[in-house]
Chains A and B, each alone.
Chain A
Amino acid sequence: MMNFRTDLPIHPLWLRVTHWLNAIAILILAMSGWRIYNAAPFFAFVIPKGITLGGWLGGAIQWHFAAMWLLAGNGLIYLTCNVVSGRLWRKFFPLSPRALLADLLAALKGTLSHADLGQYNAVQRAAYLFVIVDAVVLILSGLVLWKSVQFPILREFLGGYEAARRVHFVAMAAMAAFVAVHLLMVALVPRTLLAMLRGR
């Protein structure tokens, strides 16, 4: 249907650059965020220190408040390029629950085709759209935690400061779950890693 021209990359350069910058930002933010969570855990567990970043709370916060600019700035560039180029609509839509269910079943049965990496199946479309929304939730809830007084509408929308902490954590957990599945899929279809590195 598309991508008959073999000289066109599956992933344009801007997409590959923003993807890898995003990966670095997410890795730093997650690992430093776990250290920050450990300072005052609100669930009955802490994150193993070995997989956290920053050493102590102050160091973790420095990493977190540095990488947040990378996540937000890079995310803004990604969304702008995606919308302006029309790629967002081309790649992610149409997306119907019926197609999602069909592709999900096919994926679980191992019959989903990955012959054309240029076209996302319905599960990919849903997963990538979800993770875009999840990143927005992470940034907005993070904004409330960072500047609890300056964004009153956002703060009250999320249910106040303490609720925003939980929202931020749950959105992090959803992001971590996405990354786990994403890496598993890359391991199953390694050509996708090459495509994300060199475009084809």
Chain B
Amino acid sequence: MNNNKHANWLVENANMILRDARKEVGRVVQQPARRAFLQRTLTLGGLSLLSGCALVDGESIDTALMGISRLNDKAQGWLFDPNRLAPTYPDSMITRPFPFNAFYGEGDVREVEEAGYRLEVTGLVADKHVWSLAELRAMPQTDQVTRHICVEGWSAIGKWGGVPFASFLRRVGADLSAKYVGFKCADDYYTSIDMPTALHPQTLLALTYDSQPLPPKYGFPMKLRMPTKLGYKNPKHIQAIFVTNTYPGGYWEDQGYNWFGGG
């Protein structure tokens, strides 16, 4: 609907320009035959210029834009350097308080019980056993202070600690040549990432924020933290991880956010 409104606006303005131009043609060119020819070609030119917007309905525009977004995924996959690190910062630069963000308000944050928490790992992996929080905490941990960039444009610096995702994927014997890793979350969020980003040295299964266990609002008990991707690619309260070659999409991605989504 909005596209149509803009298309109308464009047509209206283009018509005004054409009208002025036709007037000009009429004044400058005296020979009637030449004048008529120029005025006609002007109209045709105007139409062909606008055909991308005005003569196509909103749905095909959306399809075209989605198609370009898929091409942008490919371009970004090609641009992605698996060894290029996001900048890190001193603790003194951490943004306090770190902003809460989700597809729901802060009052609706899901409280996941620590005792009953289990992490399911499925798909193209050798070891499909269900993980407990204690097992995740027993793996070698690391932490980093990095910039979180939201798709809205704002950014904030935070400190996350946890298991490097690459070592987790190797531990479960994941097929590292698979295309996608998908995530399902306790807050009904879901998303997926490309394997090169999953294996990036700064991609963490984060268990802590600012050296404390992740509070519920930041995704207790575990979230994926990638400084190379936008906020909506970093799922919280992860309950299931699966490795696949079938495009899994995502909560926002299915609505139109770019799938690769990040730096």
Which residues of A are in contact with B by a Cβ distance under 8 Å? Answer: 20, 24, 27, 31, 36-37, 39-40, 42, 53-59, 61-63, 65-66, 69, 145-150, 152, 160-162, 165, 190-191, 193-194, 197-198
Q: A40-B153, A61-B258, A147-B76 are in contact. Are A31 and B68 (CB under 8 A)?
A: no
Give A128 Cβ to nearest chain B Cβ, in Å. 20
Q: In whole angstroms, what is the CA distance A152 to B72 when docked?
A: 20
Q: In whole angstroms, what is the CA distance A160 to B89 when docked?
A: 12
Give A139 Cβ to nearest chain B Cβ, in Å. 15
Select one of B20, B76, B147, B257 contacting A190, CB under 8 A: B20
Q: A150-B80, A190-B20 are in contact. Are A66 and B68 (CB under 8 A)?
A: yes
Please indicate which of the listed interface residues B2, B80, B257 has the most CB atoms of chain A within 10 Å of its own CB.
B2
Please indicate which of the listed interface residues A62, A65, A66, A190 has the most CB atoms of chain B within 10 Å of its own CB.
A62
- Counting chain B residues whose Cβ lies within 8 A of the other chain, the interface size class is 35 or more
CB of A65 within 8 A of CB of B25, answer: no
Q: In whole angstroms, what is the CA distance A190 to B28 when docked?
A: 11
Query: Which 9 A-B pairs give the minimum distances between C-beta atoms?
Result: A148-B263, A58-B256, A149-B263, A55-B2, A39-B152, A62-B65, A40-B153, A40-B152, A40-B154
CB-defined contacts of A150 to chain B, threshold 8 Å:
79-81, 84, 263
CB of B155 within 8 A of CB of A193, answer: no
Select one of B21, B76, B150, B262 contacting A40, CB under 8 A: B150
Q: In whole angstroms, what is the CA distance A38 to B15 when docked?
A: 30
Per the 8 Å Cβ criterion, residues 211-262 of B in contact with A are 227-228, 252, 255-258, 262
CB-defined contacts of B252 to chain A, threshold 8 Å:
58
CB-defined contacts of B17 to chain A, threshold 8 Å:
193
Using a Cβ cutoff of 8 Å, how many contacts connect chains A and B? 99
Give B261 Cβ to nearest chain A Cβ, in Å. 10
Known: A145-B153, A161-B155. 5 other contacts (CB 8 A): A24-B49, A27-B10, A59-B256, A61-B258, A191-B28
CB-defined contacts of B173 to chain A, threshold 8 Å:
none
Select one of A39, A161, A194 contacting B149, CB under 8 A: A161
Can you give 16 contacting A-B residue pairs, CB < 8 Å?
A39-B153, A57-B151, A58-B255, A58-B257, A59-B2, A62-B68, A66-B68, A146-B263, A147-B76, A149-B227, A149-B228, A150-B79, A150-B263, A191-B28, A193-B21, A197-B42
CB of B45 within 8 A of CB of A55, answer: no
B36 within 8 A of A: no
CB-defined contacts of A54 to chain B, threshold 8 Å:
2
Do most interface residues of chain A lie in helix, strand or loop, or is the interface mixed?
helix
CB-defined contacts of B141 to chain A, threshold 8 Å:
none
Select one of A24, A53, A194 contacting B21, CB under 8 A: A194
CB-defined contacts of A36 to chain B, threshold 8 Å:
153
Q: A37-B153, A40-B153, A40-B154 are in contact. Are A63 and B228 (CB under 8 A)?
A: no
Give A13 Cβ to nearest chain B Cβ, in Å. 12
For residue B253, which residue of chain A has the nearest CB?
A58
B11 within 8 A of A: no
B38 within 8 A of A: yes
B171 within 8 A of A: no
B170 within 8 A of A: no
Give A135 Cβ to nearest chain B Cβ, in Å. 20
CB-defined contacts of B172 to chain A, threshold 8 Å:
none
CB of B84 within 8 A of CB of A152, answer: yes
B66 within 8 A of A: yes
Q: In whole angstroms, what is the CA distance A165 to B149 when docked?
A: 12
CB-defined contacts of A31 to chain B, threshold 8 Å:
6
CB-defined contacts of B24 to chain A, threshold 8 Å:
190-191, 193-194
